[in-house]
Amino acid sequence: MKVSTTLIALLVLASLSKTGFAQGANATNVVQPKIMVIPYIKESEDLRTVLEADFKKREVIAQIKNGFDNRGFTTKDFVATLKEAKDAKIFITNTQSDIKSALVEFSGADIYVEVEYNLVKTNNGGIAKIILNGYDASTGNAYANITCNSGERYGTDDGSLITAALITPPVSYGDKPSTVPCLDNFLDILQAKFTDMVNKGRSVKVDFSMDAGAARDFDSKVGGKQLSDLIDDWLAENSYKNNYHAQGTTAKRLFYDDVRIPLLDANGRNFKLNKFGQSLTEYLDKQGVKAKRAIKNGGLFITISN
């Protein structure tokens, strides 16, 4: 018998101490992630009710949550968070992607981890394989991926197989054996990636284009400077630690493939990409340049309209 299910684990990583808007050169590392595990749902399922009739998903979620707890991480219960979100009436539509996005934003998640597991029964036992994929919740950038493998275990139930794959050494990830529990190894990778983001900022893509009816292009002069230079100067001043990179520049399009923005705002909350876009379009408006902004797949898209 073969059982396959995909889950998503959301890691809400919160700093032990609050830092400023730009975090500062001496920002402390975030060391206590808050973790919430939620189920991935198929098109025919509803994220808000999927756990009610599926014991297997509840079991896997509990196993992963316990693994995080045993490593000393703070975890947040999915069911309780979902109830809070319902009470707050954050679900405006019934589109599952919108429900997930709203729940992510409500939870304050920085990272989500997609967890796929496969349980295969053999004559004498079974094998569990669990794939963990970590992504930045704001941008969709990949953080880490790893495959946990229990190996064939004899006379064991599904719960024991999942435990063996995640937290019982020796395990294997990829095709290489290891004596480090797979979940520990994955969390170490995530922590290193997150610490790097604290120190260097979150990487986002910023794409500038011209509306078809715009009278100017990026070579046009605005206040004595080319528009492209005005934009570049603003990014130099407002990107985190002046860290940004332009991949391509033409008269009709500017594309920055790596612009660093702060991880936290002045109140210690997640700094939103939309806030960065708002500041940018307000600056352009003061220069007499009308611009619309949109966020898609974790990227910021700016369209010049005049």
- Distance, in Å, from the CA atom of 161 to the CA atom of 231, rounded to the nearest integer, reads 54
Question: What are the extents of the domains in the chain?
Answer: 2-198, 201-304
Summarised one tens digit per residue, pLDDT across range 229-275 is: 999 999 999 999 999 999 988 999 999 999 999 888 888 777 888 89
Return the closest-CA partner of residue 208 out of 217, 196, 221, 200.
217
What are the 10-residue block averages of pLDDT along the chain, 306 residues in total? Answer: 53 40 41 67 83 80 78 76 91 85 77 80 87 76 85 84 78 56 86 84 93 93 93 96 92 94 81 91 95 88 94
- The position carrying tokens 């995640």 is 166
DSSP assignment of 73-129 equals: -EE--HHHHHHHHHHTT---S--HHHHHHHHHHHHT-SEEEEEEEEEEE-SSEEEEE
Which tokens is 195 given?
């610490």
pLDDT at 267: 80
- Distance, in Å, from the CA atom of 18 to the CA atom of 64, rounded to the nearest integer, reads 28
Cite the DSSP H helix spans in the chain: 55-70, 78-87, 96-107, 158-167, 182-200, 227-238, 273-286
